[in-house]
Structure 1
Amino acid sequence: MRRIGWLLAVLLLAGTASSPGYGASQSELDAVEREKAEMAAQLEDASAEVRAAGQVLAETEALLPGAEHEVNVAEGRVAAADAQAAQAEREAEAAREALAVAEAEYEAAREAVDEAREARASLFSATAQGVELLTVDAILASGDPQQAVDGLTYLEFLMNGKNAAVEEVTLARREAGNAENAAAVAEDEAVAAEAAAAQALADAEVRYAEAQAAQLTVQQLVTDQAAALEVARSAEDQAQSQYDDLEAESDRLAEELRRAAADNRNSGGNSGGNSGNSGGSSSGSSGSGFVLPVDGWKSSDYGWRRHPIYGTSRLHGGTDFAAGSGSTIYAADSGTVVYAGWNSGYGQLTCINHGGGITSCYAHQSSIWVSNGEHVDRDEAIGAVGSTGDSTGPHLHFEVRVNGERVNPIGYLPSCLCR
Structure 2
Amino acid sequence: MRRIALLLAALLLGVAASSPVSGRPGRTEPDAVDREKAEMAAALEGASEEVQEAGQALVEAESLLPGAEQTVAEAEGRVAAAEAVSAAAAQAAEEARAALAVVEAELEAAAEAVEEALEAQASMLTATYRGVELLTVDAILTSEDPAMAVDRSTYLEFMIEGKNAAVEEVTLERRAAANAEGAASLAEAEAAEAEAAAAEALADAEERYSEAEAAREAVEELVAERADALAVAEAAEAEAEAAYEEAEAESEWLADALRVADDAGDSSSSGGSGFVQPVDGWKSSDFGWRTHPIYGTSRFHGGTDFAAGHGSTIYAADSGTVVHAGWNGGYGMLTCIGHGGDLTTCYGHQSSIRVDNGEHVDRGEEIGAVGSTGASTGAHLHFEVRVNGERVEPLDYLPSCLCR
Relative to the length of structure 1, the TM-score reads: 0.84
- CA contact under 8 A between 1:302 and 1:316: conserved in structure 2? yes
Change (3 A) 1:33 1:291: closer
Alignment deviations for residues 302-333 of structure 1 (CA, whole Å, 9 cap, x no partner): 11111111111111111223333333323333
Aligned with 1:413: secondary structure? coil
Aligned mate of 2:331, from 346, 349, 352: 346
Runs of at least 5 residues in structure 2 that lack an aligned partner in the other structure: 1-14, 22-29
Match of 1:393 in 2: 378
Distance in 2 (CA, whole Å) between partners of 1:24 and 1:235 is: 41
Match of 1:233 in 2: 234
- CA contact under 8 A between 1:288 and 1:414: conserved in structure 2? no
- CA contact under 8 A between 2:265 and 2:341: conserved in structure 1? no
- CA contact under 8 A between 2:282 and 2:306: conserved in structure 1? yes
Change (3 A) 1:234 1:26: farther
1:315 corresponds to 2:296? no
Match of 2:393 in 1: 408
Alignment deviations for residues 171-198 of structure 1 (CA, whole Å, 9 cap, x no partner): 2222222222222111111111111111
- CA contact under 8 A between 1:365 and 1:386: conserved in structure 2? yes
1:271 corresponds to 2:266? yes
Distance in 1 (CA, whole Å) between partners of 2:348 and 2:81 is: 59
Aligned ranges 1:277-292 → 2 under 5 Å:
281-282=270-271, 288-292=273-277
Aligned mate of 1:324, from 309, 315, 322: 309
Match of 1:136 in 2: 137
Change (3 A) 1:82 1:378: closer
Alignment deviations for residues 257-304 of structure 1 (CA, whole Å, 9 cap, x no partner): 22333xx4xxxx663124xxxxxx32xxxx614333334443332111
Aligned with 1:251: secondary structure? helix
TM-superposed CA distance for 1:24, in Å, is 9.0
Q: Identity of aligned pairs, percent?
A: 69
Distance in 1 (CA, whole Å) between partners of 2:80 and 2:276 is: 63
- CA contact under 8 A between 1:273 and 1:333: conserved in structure 2? no
Give the residue type in structure 1 aligned to 2:365: E
Distance in 2 (CA, whole Å) between partners of 1:378 and 1:299 is: 23
Match of 1:203 in 2: 204
Change (3 A) 1:332 1:204: closer
The worse-fitting range, judged by mean Cα deviation, of 41-50 and 335-344 is 41-50
Distance in 2 (CA, whole Å) between partners of 1:174 and 1:414 is: 96
- CA-atom RMSD, angstroms? 2.4
TM-superposed CA distance for 1:354, in Å, is 2.5
Distance in 2 (CA, whole Å) between partners of 1:288 and 1:159 is: 127
Distance in 2 (CA, whole Å) between partners of 1:98 and 1:413 is: 82
1:67 corresponds to 2:68? yes
Match of 1:8 in 2: none
Change (3 A) 1:50 1:107: same
Aligned ranges 1:71-90 → 2 under 5 Å:
71-90=72-91
Match of 2:163 in 1: 162
Distance in 2 (CA, whole Å) between partners of 1:162 and 1:168 is: 10
Distance in 2 (CA, whole Å) between partners of 1:322 and 1:361 is: 16
TM-superposed CA distance for 1:409, in Å, is 1.8
Give the residue type in structure 2 aligned to 1:411: D
1:181 corresponds to 2:182? yes
- CA contact under 8 A between 2:38 and 2:307: conserved in structure 1? no
TM-superposed CA distance for 1:397, in Å, is 1.4
Distance in 1 (CA, whole Å) between partners of 2:75 and 2:390 is: 56
Match of 1:52 in 2: 53
Aligned with 1:324: secondary structure? coil
Aligned ranges 1:367-378 → 2 under 5 Å:
367-378=352-363
Distance in 2 (CA, whole Å) between partners of 1:288 and 1:25 is: 44
Give the residue type in structure 2 aligned to 1:98: A
Change (3 A) 1:69 1:327: closer
Give the residue type in structure 1 aligned to 2:315: Y
Aligned with 1:254: secondary structure? helix
Aligned with 1:299: secondary structure? strand
Change (3 A) 1:200 1:327: closer
TM-superposed CA distance for 1:157, in Å, is 1.1
Distance in 2 (CA, whole Å) between partners of 1:123 and 1:377 is: 128
Change (3 A) 1:177 1:417: closer
